[in-house]
Amino acid sequence: MIDIKEIFKILPHRYPFLMVDKMLEIEDGVRARGLKNVTINEPFFQGHYPGNPIMPGAMMMEAMAQVGGIMIMASRKGEKLVPFLAGIEKFRFKKPVSPGDTIIFEVEMIGGRGNMGKVKGIAKVDGKVVAQGEMSFALFPEKE
């Protein structure tokens, strides 16, 4: 398990854009599970949608991408690289996500070579699929 302090060491994201609270498990460069506690304090809920807060699909994709980025970087320890989202494919949203939900993101490496990688991911709330799709990543040198 990786807590938020370790996530800060791996990803450059910070509030309000860090979307992963904890990593539940990682098999370096193979698969990973991460957790996001969705709260009413998320800044996007002010406008999406007043009176009926629903987590935007783009934010779910970003959270899944961050879980994928952590998984990829776990296998590249010591390298000064930053994972960038390079593509999104076959993404589907099945159910809305609301404040109070806990999303479990599961990602699995399905391809890659060099500084490129591709994962498939699934997001679940209470064991039910809320989103799924594939994402590509590119690793670029960290700017100092």
List the catalytic residues: 48
Q: What is the rounded distance in angstroms from the CA atom of residue 138 to the CA atom of residue 82?
A: 8
Type of residue numbered 102: T
DSSP state of 2: B
Type of residue numbered 104: I
Cβ proximity of 36 and 105 under 8 Å: yes
